[in-house]
Amino acid sequence: LWNVLLSFSGLVALIQLLFLPFFPESPPYLLLQKGDKNGCLEAMKQLWGEGNYHTEFEDMLKERAATKGTKIMNVLEVLKEPSVRRQLSIMLLLLLSIQLCGLKIFRTANIQESIIPYVSLGVAISELFSIIFCSSIIDRFGRRILLWGGYLLMALILVLFETSLQLSDQFSWMRYCSVILIFLFIIAYGIGP
């Protein structure tokens, strides 16, 4: 019944997708990234109710002043930075070990055993692509839009994935659609949630 469990996570993502438009942007995002002081205060009031948020607001202003002189690094600069090599190595090790988890899905999709290691490599490349892509667009669009779009794509992909698994016994080419949908799901997850 793993497909029911997979569908349940899609249902949770759909519920989050429906409620996300009713939440305000993050106050630190509004102040630190957008420079919108009034929007930040309004978001604080909407999230926490009426009250005096002067202390929290001052802390965010101090953080803004502290980070004003720092340069935002792109992906290549982060990869070249010696101070983060250990963290990057651990993250890469975790990403590589996660690849062993998808073998059951690939077998259920009737993928040939000899192709599964290459498909797992494709999953890792999809994860890497989504991390690089998300880190380059998050400042431009903000977390809210990426979350909303990611959950919407994930819900749609899960419906298509379940359909492709049901039809994989009837049509042999559906197994490749399942693999492509897994790649797309990973990319949507990496860009959004």
pLDDT digit string (tens) for 54-83?
788 888 888 877 777 667 677 788 788 888
C-alpha to C-alpha distance for 148 and 127, rounded to whole angstroms: 19
Q: Which two tokens stand for residue 100?
A: 């062993």
Question: So where are the chain's domains?
Answer: 1-68, 75-191
Share of the chain above pLDDT 90, in %: 1
C-alpha to C-alpha distance for 116 and 106, rounded to whole angstroms: 7
| Cα–Cα distance list, 170 to 17, 110, 163, 164, 188 (Å) | 33, 11, 12, 10, 28
In which band, very low, low, confident or very high, does the pLDDT at 123 lie, cut at 50, 70 and 90?
confident
What's the pLDDT at 32?
A: 80
Closest Cα to residue 191, out of 146, 152, 159? 146
Residue 24 in 3-state DSSP? coil
Residue 70 in 3-state DSSP? coil
Report yes or no: 165 and 134 within 8 Å, Cβ to Cβ.
no
Cβ neighbours, 10 Å, residue 179: 22
Residue-wise pLDDT for 22-32, tens only, equals 888 888 888 88
Q: Which amino acid, one-letter code, is at 191?
A: I
In which band, very low, low, confident or very high, does the pLDDT at 180 lie, cut at 50, 70 and 90?
confident
pTM score: 0.50
